[in-house]
Each structure stands twice: as C-alpha cells, then as structure tokens.
Chain A
C-alpha cells in the first residue's frame, strides 16, 4: 500500500520567503509527527498531532514555524520568513493509533529545504 508521501521533495527559498511543506500520512493513521533533520544529524522532533489536535509543539524552534492538520489527515508545516538556519530535511511520520507506547512510526522521504 501507499506509504507516507511528502511534497515538494526539494524546495529552494530565498531568505525571508514563506514556505509550506505538505505531508500525506498513511490512510487511517491517527498520529502524525514532524521532524527536522540537519545535515549529518539525527531527526529532531518538532510537533505531534493526534487526529486534528496538535498535542505537542514543544520542538518548534520559533514562532515562525506553524503546523496544522485541520481534517485529521493531510498536514502542512509552514515556515514564515525563512532563515538560512532553516535549511534541513523536514520529515513527516505517521502511526496507526494515538500515542501508543513504542508504536511504529512510518516515515516519509522528507522535503529537502535550502534557504539561500
């Protein structure tokens, strides 16, 4: 079956530009996660949704970062006034149920953002 998909796969933005990154989770998955992965580092947690509710946004680095999942399926991560330090791969993951301990997260291929 279809896995997690993300679009665009690559995005080049000029500093100060707003960007929107899309995640399509596996159909029926309750939980959705966003991670940021800088070059040579592991993914860093950004935010977590259970259905349409954003239960944890403690990892968002600043108020320029905003995520939504209005209908409990597709999610968008928006970055306003992009800065060079925002350059990274943004990974989306989904899991079947809600916050179940140790449940498998299925990752998408990521969106590679480069801010010039």
Chain B
C-alpha cells in the first residue's frame, strides 16, 4: 500500500462549481502538506503549503489538514476552465523536509 493515496478521478465539473480534492496518508511523521497543479507536459507548480493541522486559504483555494484522521483536502471555489489540470498532493516529514512523497494525482476538467 502506498504511503499517500489520492482520489483518482477523473473529475469533470461545470464552471463555477466547488471542487473537493482529497488525499489520505499512512505515515504519521508527515508534517508538511502541499498541493501542486500540473498542466499537461509541464512540471508541477506549488499551489498551497500547510504545516501540521488546520486550514489555509488563498483566493479561491482552501487547504485543510486533519492529522488525527491522516486526511487532507483542497477546495476550489468558483472553478474556472483554466483550473483544468492534474492536482497532486505531496507531503514531507520533519527530518527529510526536502524529500516529498506525492499522490498519483486527480485530473480535473472544468467545462465552460
């Protein structure tokens, strides 16, 4: 079983919808939680970063971390066609802060 499991999708929503993307993990040492967006044939781009449990909001994006349940989420409000991409969750532990473990990604399509 992988250390990080991500809802596989794909996900297709109409423009303006609220999108929920989720990951679960098994390694209790993970302290840092990231969400990346990856467009086709591009490298991942960091969207959100959260340390430990809690919520973080940045514009239309909200990241939530529940360490007790080992569950993280990314919410996208008022989704736009330009949000169509693959979303990757990633995590790292304190000791190996530079070494990230990624989920396999959820591909999102936002239809106009």
Contacts and interface: CB of A to CB of B under 8 A. Distances in A.
Interface residues of B, number: 27
A28 interface: no
Nearest to B46: A104
Contacts of A105: 46, 98, 100
Contact of B32 (A4, A31, A45, A101): A101
Q: Report the contact-size class of chain A (Cβ under 8 Å from the partner).
A: 20 to 34
B67 to A, nearest CB: 15
B43 A91 contact: yes
Nearest to B36: A107
Interface of A: 4, 31, 33, 35, 40-45, 48, 56, 59, 91, 93, 95, 99-110, 112
Interface of B: 4, 6, 31-32, 34, 41-46, 49, 51, 88, 90, 92, 94, 96-105
